[in-house]
Chains A and B, each alone.
Chain A
Amino acid sequence: MSALQTAFAAALSVILVLLTAFTTFTVRSAIVARDSAARTGWISRIGRASDRDTQRWAFVAHRTTGVAVFAFLLLHVLDVGLYAISPSWFDDVHTLYSTAALRVFECFLLYAILFHTLNGLRLIALDLVDIRNATARHLLSLCIVVTLLLGTAAAVVILWPVAT
């Protein structure tokens, strides 16, 4: 691996670590920080969540996917910006995108973008039209299903070259 590739991988790893920390913090605060009397573990509380909590988890997912997409976008602006300095540096870094690891990463990124977009549209709809709670929940289910279908279809395309 070239120095530049190592730098890119390192930056991506840092983003992933920070993202994991942020997600943990967000999930925890959704469970525990709001709960002054919590004595049971927060992990077990996630397990007890029922379908009535889906919109709470949608909020957490919306936040973390938003941060994830934003953080990757910053990195991506940098790696695309390399072209202005030197096209060969650009090519050097961008060969990484065709590796299996990054293809898997791209799949997750796509899921994140899809969910964030669709859920964002749902929230806008909620703001514009008077939607009942039950309808909002059904719309969320729809967002999740569409995210999974589209994401999985795209994942097959993305992963096809390395899988065969």
Chain B
Amino acid sequence: MPEWPPEWLETDIAIVGSGGAGLMCALHAATADPELKITIVSKGAVGRSGCTRMVQGGFNAALGAEDSLEAHFRDTIEGGQYLNDQELAWTLVCDAPGVIDELETRFGCLFDRTEGGAIDLKPFGGQSFDRTVHRADQTGLEIMGRLRDQVLRIGAHELEDWRALDLLFDVHGELSGLTVLDTQSGHAAVLLARAVVIATGGSATMYRIAAPAREKTGDGMAMCYRAGLPFRDMEMLQFHPTGLVAGDSALTGSVLEEGLRGAGAHLYNRFGERYMERADPIRLERSTRDVVARASYTEIVEGRGTPSGGVLLDISHLGADEIRRRFSGMAARTLLVGADLTTGPVEVSPTAHFHMGGVVIDQDCVTEIDGLLVAGEDAGGTHGANRLGGNGVAESTVYGARAGDTAAALVRDRALYLPDDRLVADSLDQAYAPLRRSTGLTPFELTDRLKHVMWTHCGVVRSRGGLLQAREELSDLASQLTRIAVPGPKEANPAWQQSLDLASQITVARLIVESALEREESRGAHFRSDHPERDDDRWLRAVIAERGPDGNPSIGTRDVEFTRLAPGGRAVACETA
């Protein structure tokens, strides 16, 4: 069924993903050298897929008069419980104010300002100063809308609704590009590129209750894994404490914003107990995401949740008018599922949200493979064991911009390499296989099973027994992949695409499970019921996962380097850039 030979396309820089990181990368590369041929490969609509667009809260940048880069850095490292790659975190903090300026003055983002004219900074969880830049509660939409239009200006070649399949190498192992598939027409192509930037975002969709957009199935990470790149801290997957519970509806898992807890919302179990009084008597509901998510999860699994598996979030004591004024979007979201935030409690549950772990990179997004850059949520290390609200969109745009600068410099003296034909053939054979089989499983049951396994055994609370069971289940699921058969044509067939998504999700899920088995302590987003304490003596170490010689993940660890701030708050070297 794959047409042979496939279409051949050629570009200088191939960017996979069109969220904040992908588009910033394209714009920076075009600024560095307007003559460059830039190709954006986007599984969904360009600029309208992924999660940057869904950011409600905002963008952390140390812009306040009292604030400092050091303070932002310290908050980021303490939030990440010292597991961060400190150079990545420092770069994030240093670049963030400049990127805000660029977004506003070059790209036109209209951030909220005070009446005095200064950028309005709002308070966010886990931060010592107000430093979250925003536009109402639609910050991501404003940023992505403007970036998308700027990309029209530079006239990048857009492969919209095309998915990336595999990285390609020549016979000597030089990166030569990737195979891509047009999900609308069903045609495949080989995209030759001097540099490839992976910016596809994370893979939290592999959980039963999950917040991200459907595209985020870890395709980029899976490609990098198959290409042999090392990953760090893959066990660190953040659960947002207040995901909407809406029965069987697809809306289940969508986030009710953190600001609700910040504004004083209470959490109750089915008996009307305010259980955060037990979990964190001092900060209560305003505790960090990991603590609240774990407390809610415990209520639910121990039978104190609502019948449909949630706890109750109540902010009605603020008064309906006040709630409508400050949280109109959230109020509308609850009305849609038959609840009403303004007059009573709504059911919420922890929801899989963000992947702190990812590919090992340096501050310039460079990986171990020459010509291959990784930016945004696909990369690991910036956030350590827990991400602060507002640092996510900062990471995408800061590192997207850096990847663009790096790529523009890189392609100046990097040649095009012709890929090994065998790799092309294997990649396309694999992609078209589900369509070619006449009978077999649909991807839906397998996806449901994956989501169930990950939620139950590798979710908010983990244990060795559960993780071992997850390992078994995942290897069984992986073996079932070759039995998937999808009916219908190759044109615009979402079930076929879902079967390809599933393969990526299972690859990343195995990395998460193996890394979670390795880390025998509890830190940040990773909680082991059999090792419930944080163990700084043994585990100030990054868990490194990569593809072993047998094709399965091989796991190791590496000391975290405290290049700027050691645990206990001792500054090592925190000079201003």
Q: When A and B assemble into the complex, do they touch directly, with CB atoms less than 8 Å apart?
A: no
Q: Which residues of B contact A (CB under 8 A)?
A: none
A-to-B contact residues, CB < 8 Å: none
